[in-house]
A = this chain, B = another copy of it.
Amino acid sequence: MKADKISELTTNRLSIYLRCLNELAHEGRKTVSSDRLAKRFHLNSAQIRKDLACFGEFGVRGVGYYIEDLREQIIRILGLDHHHRVGIVGAGRLGAALTDYYGFRQTNFEVAALFDADPEKIGSVVSDVKVFDVKDFSKVRKNEGIDVAVIAVPAEYAQKVLEMIVDAGVKAVMNFAPTPLLADDDVKLKTIDLTISLESLSYFLARPGKNGRE
């Protein structure tokens, strides 16, 4: 399986296919063609066939793909057959919302611990998840088997928090602080920058011709 070089755009599409296949499986369907998948979920059928062919999935002429097999294949490719333990640094509103976020539960990512520096929060429990002292991050990471960290602290602390996380041995990080961070090549860092998304909406609303402005 030539999975080494697939781009993030491709893995993102695989995530979408998986979600669609889950829905079809839930409806009791056993097979689906790329055309039907495309039509139903507003995707590109040629792209679907191309992406799946990369993984040796060519479908069966006249039938399409076997949904259950394809689901399992994509789950394996995305590493979702492995359970991941998440540590969220920052137990404010955002950290608490992420703890709750149903997406975490659906994808084999389990929030194992929250971390904060605020004595009022340390020791409390949020949605069944305990808030630890951020000073104990390294120790708790080992004890809890945390392999993914989420940064949910204000921008000015984010780089320091990232360094702490990486020092403790975590290789996969999701950053919600609206600031570019610097990480080593062996660490996978994803920044979810809501400010940038808002600003692209702002650009759209301001475009000449859209609102009659010059």
Q: Are A208 and B103 in contact (CB under 8 A)?
A: no
Q: Is A44 an interface residue (CB 8 A)?
A: no
Contact residue range for chain A?
Answer: 35 or more
**Oligomer copy total:** 2
Q: Residue A93 contacts which of B42, B96, B204 (CB distance < 8 angstroms)? A: B96
Q: Can you list 18 contacts pairing A with B, beta carbon distance less than 8 Å? A: A6-B203, A14-B199, A15-B193, A15-B196, A16-B180, A42-B180, A79-B203, A80-B199, A82-B206, A84-B202, A84-B205, A93-B93, A97-B98, A103-B195, A107-B199, A188-B205, A190-B200, A192-B194
Which residues of chain A have a CB within 8 Å of any CB of chain B? Answer: 3-4, 6, 8, 11-12, 14-16, 18-19, 41-42, 77-80, 82, 84, 92-94, 96-98, 100-104, 106-109, 147-148, 154-155, 171-174, 178-180, 182, 188, 190, 192-210
